[in-house]
Amino acid sequence: MYDLTIALRTDSEKCLYEQIYEYIRQEIREGKLRPGERLPSTRSLAEYLQISRSTAALAYEQLVSEGYIESRPYRGYYVCRMEELYRLDTGEEDGDADTAQTSGKRPQYRCDFSPTATDMSQFPFGVWRKINKNVLSESSSGLFAQGDSQGEYSLRETISRYLHSSRGVNCSPQQIIVGAGNDYLLLLLEKILGRHVKIAMENPTYKRAYQIFNSFAYEITTVDMDSAGMSVSGLRSSDVTAAYVMPSHQYPTGVLMPIGRRLELLKWADEAPDRYLIEDDYDSEFRYKGKPIPSLQASDKHGRVIYIGTFSKSIAPAIRVSYMVLPQALLERYRRQCAFYSTTVSRIDQKVLEEFIREGYFERYLNKMRKYYKEKHDLLLEELADFGEAFQITGENAGLHLLLTGKRGQTEEELLTAAEAVGVKVYGLSESLVEKDSGESLRQPGGTVILGYGGLGQEDIKNGLSLLRQAWL
């Protein structure tokens, strides 16, 4: 068993559990803690460091949630195997970088501005553990039986109330289908809509959704965007029966679709039978300026919008609970053709989530994270102030990322290469383009990169931008 000699600082801005968490995480990333190695128990660690056991447990829970360690019942905590792990916090000497290039290993980054990362440091692990314990102790054997194929009715009822109050969605619990992630719901949607569907997607778009649709027998047409979102004139000329849109915070551009464009889309859907809009309400929970924008579904009067949302961003990626709201006509089709599919979410997990929302913990946590992410968002914009002459900043004030577009003729490829040279990982907009030569896009002047900040601490943001300042300005 590995001894953890951690120099805890009481004068640090970081609380004790964060210091323990960061120390162990760094030891794992640097290979000092090896895969399969056993860690001290929370009791032993607490006694050794002269801290409370709950502090040690909180640090371990954070490491478990991020996949650095695993808890084995009755045996303890062990380091997970992560052969492809980035060493995010350490730099490389020039010789090491050359070795990494020649050996084919992934580069090691000092800062990763991932647009998909989230911050779990504020998650109420104790509350989640308590609810889980209560559910297991109070439940009958029925909770371990196969449940409703659409998800537990009580959870769907809770979700419908939440969606109506927070997003303006008008639906009954009967219209909601609960599934393990958006991937499953899109696969289920293919069974509902049928195999040979012509579908339009924004360009650029959420590439994973495109890959899923592309795996079907779907005919996909990309429609370019303007400052208001998907071009309706482009949609009309595409001869499609469905359109996949992200009106509340489009990924990756961050465009917020105004009400005029939303009504145009609804009018297009109303003009022919069996036309539908698939609304992916991406990142809708995190808005930092103005009032929350209601969903597209909230303006739908004729059952043309299929609404999809998830708790992966607002709670945790590992929750793996998403939901789909079907218009009444498609609900009847689902019951005829797909009701035999079993739910993909454990009834126990559904019950824990239901209690977490119903008892008000979710609302309090979400409000806390809005404030927490806003602080990061504001810091990022503050630190980017001197980038204004060289870059145009767009996509801010919502979500967990923004975009920088070069004003001095830099190509995306040049920006990515320069950032990597100083140990910073940024992401090119061309990765989200569909049916266009991404290699050509990389070399176009005025390249655009994506900076995500959700998974970074404030010091990480400052340090990362300091390095980008050296590379780009």
User: Which residue type occupies 374?
Assistant: K
Contact 229, 395 (CB under 8 A): no
Q: Which residues make Cβ contacts (< 8 Å) with residue 287, sequence separation at least 6?
A: 249, 293, 370, 397, 398
Mean pLDDT for the stretch of residues 432-449: 73
- Mean pLDDT, rounded, of the chain: 87
pLDDT band at 438 (very low <50, low <70, confident <90, very high): low
pLDDT of residue 240: 94
For 171, list phi and psi in degrees, rounded to 5. -160, 160
Which two tokens mark 433? 């383009």
pLDDT in tens, 185-212: 999 999 999 888 899 999 999 999 999 9
For residue 67, what are the contacts with CB-CB under 8 A and spacing of at least 6? 80, 82
Distances (CA, A) of 418 to 103, 422, 426, 450, 463: 21, 7, 10, 14, 16
Percentage of the chain modeled with pLDDT above 70: 91
Q: What is the CATH number of domain 1-85?
A: 1.10.10.10
Cα-based distances in Å from 471 to 14, 121, 439: 29, 30, 22
User: How far apart are alpha carbons 463 and 472 in whole angstroms?
Assistant: 14
State how far the Cα of 453 lies from the Cα of 282, in Å rounded to an integer. Answer: 16
State pLDDT tens for residues 331-386.
999 999 998 998 899 999 999 999 999 999 999 999 999 999 999 999 999 999 99
Q: Where in the chain is the domain with CATH 1.10.10.10?
A: 1-85
Stretch(es) of the chain classified as CATH 3.90.1150.10: 364-472
What are 160-184's pLDDT values in tens digits? 999 999 999 999 999 999 999 899 9
Residue range 446-460: average pLDDT? 93
Counting residues of the chain whose pLDDT is more than 90, the rounded percentage is: 56
Q: Return the exposure string of 238-262: e unless at least 16 CB atoms fall within 10 Å of the residue's CB, then b.
A: bebbbbbbbbbbbbbbbbbbeeebb
Name the H helices within 66-124. Answer: 94-103
Q: CATH 3.40.640.10 in the chain, residues?
A: 128-359
Rounded-to-5 percentages of helix, strand, coil across the chain = 45, 15, 40
Note the pLDDT of residue 440: 60
Q: Which of 429, 409, 430, 426 is nearest to 418 (CA)?
A: 426
Residue 149 is predicted with a pLDDT of 92
* SS3 label, residue 175: helix
Residue of higher predicted confidence among 234 and 14: 234
Structure tokens at 427: 């992401």
The whole-model pTM stands at: 0.76
Q: Give start and end residues of each alpha helix (H) in 168-239.
A: 182-193, 207-215, 232-236
What's the mean pLDDT in 422-437? 86
Under CATH, which number does the domain 364-472 receive?
3.90.1150.10
47's tokens: 């006694």
d(CA 92, CA 98): 10
More reliable by pLDDT, 46 or 412? 412
Sheet holding 305-310, edge to edge: 176-179, 322-325, 305-310, 276-280, 242-245, 198-203, 219-226, 229-230
Whether 91 has a pLDDT exceeding 50, the answer reads no
At 139 the pLDDT is 64
SS3 340: coil
Q: Please say whether the beta carbons of 16 and 60 come within 8 A.
A: no
Q: What is the pLDDT of residue 25?
A: 86
Helix (H, G, I), strand (E, B) or coil at 37: coil
CATH class of 128-359: alpha beta
Q: Are 351 and 139 within 8 A, CB to CB?
A: yes
Distance of CA 125 to the CA centre of its chain: 19
How many Cβ atoms sit within 10 Å of the Cβ of residue 458? Answer: 14
- How many CA atoms within 13 Å lie on the side-chain side of 191? 14
The least confident of 71-85, 96-110, 256-270 is 96-110
3-state secondary structure of 148: coil
CA dihedral 39, 41, 47, 48 (to 10 degrees): -10
- Mean pLDDT for 130-138 is 88
What average pLDDT does the segment 444-458 reach? 90
